[in-house]
Chains A and B, each alone.
Chain A
Amino acid sequence: EDQVTQSPEALRLQEGESSSLNCSYTVSGLRGLFWYRQDPGKGPEFLFTLYSAGEEKEKERLKATLTKKESFLHITAPKPEDSATYLCAVDGGAGGTSYGKLTFGQGTILTVHP
């Protein structure tokens, strides 16, 4: 069974204070690792897909990296509008399951203070 653990559960930063969120995973065969952002009362918003170890993706102040056991979401010089819950999910493909049957972590709640 696929497992995803995110840390820390909550992170408070000052505006401009860079940091990283961690996503540790175990899967039988990784099809893809996904990062989402979720604002209160809304659905998850897609950020990145990573497919293989060593891959990196960037978007504005966010950069996602992937190893064989974990992924990091690096936030450079965050702003208050980056405050949200960040979710990590894997598509593990165990037992020939359908694509899109994602296993999510519990999320990291990021708060950026001005």
Chain B
Amino acid sequence: DTGVSQDPRHKITKRGQNVTFRCDPISEHNRLYWYRQTLGQGPEFLTYFQNEAQLEKSRLLSDRFSAERPKGSFSTLEIQRTEQGDSAMYLCASSIGQNSPLHFGNGTRLTVT
């Protein structure tokens, strides 16, 4: 169990650019989640995959956001035409089954200038 891995750890981009983050879940976990956390707040749910199927998306996830999990392994989160309000920590988590605890990675901190 090597834990949830996220890449990159930090990303600085200019407004209007596209960015993509990667998450590698714990190997035997079939459930994968993306959350977003801003300073001083708890994480907020963005989207959820079971294997390769994206089963739920938050209203927070605008059309500029897209997530994929090809082959049910790693996942990517892409933000198009970034805005300053997108600056946050993007957290990935995985779990082994329903009602099992989520295990989080250390996140990707995005700064949009």
Could you list which residues of chain A lie within 8 angstroms of chain B, going by C-beta atoms? 4, 31-32, 34, 36, 41-46, 49, 51, 87, 89, 91, 97-107
Contact = CB atoms under 8 A, between A and B. Distances in A.
Nearest to B89: A43
A106 B99 contact: no
A101 B106 contact: no
Interface string B1-43: 0001000000000000000000000000001010000001111
Interface of B: 4, 31, 33, 40-45, 48, 50, 55-56, 91, 93, 95, 98-99, 101-107, 109
Given A98-B48, A98-B56, A102-B45, A45 B101 contact: no
A41 B6 CA distance: 13
Contacts, number: 67
Contacts of A107: 40-42
Contacts of B4: 43
